[in-house]
Structure 1
Amino acid sequence: MILEFNLAILGKQSRRLVQFLDSLLAKVLQGKYFICSSPLPLNKAHNPSYGWTSTMVAKPLISLEIRQKVNFENEIRIWEDRNFLLFRKQILQPNVTVDNACADVREWISHLCSSSPTVSNTSAGSSLHALSSWKRPDQGFLKCNYDAAYDLNSNQVRGAWIIRNCYGHPYMWGSANLGFANSSLVAETMALLVAMQNAWIGGYSDMIFEGDSEILVTTINDHLTNYNLLEEINSLKNKLSTTTFTFVKRNGNQAAHEIVRHGPANSIFENCKVYPPKWLTPTLYSDIMLSY
């Protein structure tokens, strides 16, 4: 127990040494042990003091979780750009490095999407850019995408929704069987209503509700008709503080579409706030990367 306590204290000291390189202690140790680098990469030192040896004992503990900032002095190379510095002695501009990194991530996502059977509802020749046109909400707002699956034979309706912040991170998603409807427009309205109900139950406000039914969005925004479901929507709208309704084409509503496709086969209600399922992850990554 004493050993673990001592390691924890030494780890804290090591972390502060890395975090506060402008401190007097850091400058003194830097002059002797790590003149041109950080203390983390060092494996041994010539004739080290007892204090330095004790501090380095805890280095493996903080190396497990530490991160280093990529700055404009090109101390760290990411992806293949590091080879330009190491072998060609060329320093690329930071924006070039970032562009190359984003291109590599898009290529990875494109391969992931093309190899996943759950993201195959577009034509085989479609590019990744055609897969998503989802836009992030402004900071301070949350966007809820919703969608409905309407069975023309049985008239059964299943609805789905997903709430994300301005960084594209999901807060809540779920799906449910909603009963029966006599048209696809009513089905979309039912899906929007259950999405708003869950947003209100979750305590969210300043919402943007986005769906791929242009007729429904126009009907709500222009107050073209007034039936029971729309009355409930307007009532919930007042409870959710700032609320807007927007239209997006199907390729910008892929996340909600995937959720409604994988919805419960029976009347079981699914609502989750933890981790997105594996079949939803490629779509979420695509939306995040292509919304920059």
Structure 2
Amino acid sequence: MGNLELYRTFYMVALTGSVTRAAELLFITQPSVSYAIKQLEEQLGIALFIRKPKGVELTAEGNVLYRHVAEGMEAMATGEQAVEQFKLMQRGEVRIGTSDTLCKFFLLPYLEHYLREYPEIHIQLSHGKTPDIVRWLRDGQADCGIVHLPVDTEWFDVIKLAEIQDCFVVGERYKHLAQEVVPLREVFGHPLIVLSQNSNTRDFIEAIAEEHGLQLKPEIELGSVELLIEFARIGLGVSFLSREFIEPQLREGTLYEVRTAEPIPSRTIGIATVKGKPLPTAARKLIGLLQEGIHTQLGEG
């Protein structure tokens, strides 16, 4: 037996006043309990118990030791209970990094369900662009990031969640662009409204422009999808947005999709976590919920 087990055995014998009862509670044999007490007494060089016909009684030295050991055992029991609460999702925290857009249009419905299921879990949500989220993950400030892919797989494990399709949209003023298929060059000839630099979406549209020999010269650069939607709606130009995030406006007819002759590749939303770093139980549960929800949607589709 290691020292911890010797002290655990000593604690149970002292608590019950019986070698037999201690053996039952520890699920070991009575001789094993007696031998453990003998070992501990030899290590400490003192007698810990007075043997009596109907059990044992602590010596003065044993009583002093018991008070200290009891504090340690009770602290360990409290610690084990706390860990069990984490396992049962009765306490814990999950730190998520994502963009305002992905939070509102993608993550929020799942968070609502998650917190109804696990109300004791604390959510720490940090908003930023993909480079910010990558930095938070690497610095240990976030457990997981909901991001547009790709990200550096040398550092991160990535779980693909959903495909999204970007498109150009206009309001009533430029509605004529949505009435037929138009070349990208023609779209780029109108006032373009795009997200500001250092975002995955901005990098994506710049890559599209470069691939087709075009130069991206935005008329307006904005910091949020909500503003991109509103600026297009009131007729200030052509916005570049993910179709999944503007389905209500497309259905209502407040925005119109411009179909381009050159197809725009789809993109992927995924969860990034740091390679080799164990995730808290709360974070694993959230990731599982996201995966399950996406697979359910695909099945219904």
What TM-score, normalized by structure 1, do the two folds share? Answer: 0.24
Structure with more relative contact order (C-alpha pairs < 8 Å, separation 6 or more)? 2
Q: Which structure's CA Rg is the greater one?
A: 2
Higher share of residues assigned strand: 2
TM-score by length of 2: 0.24
> Which structure has more helix as a fraction of its residues?
2
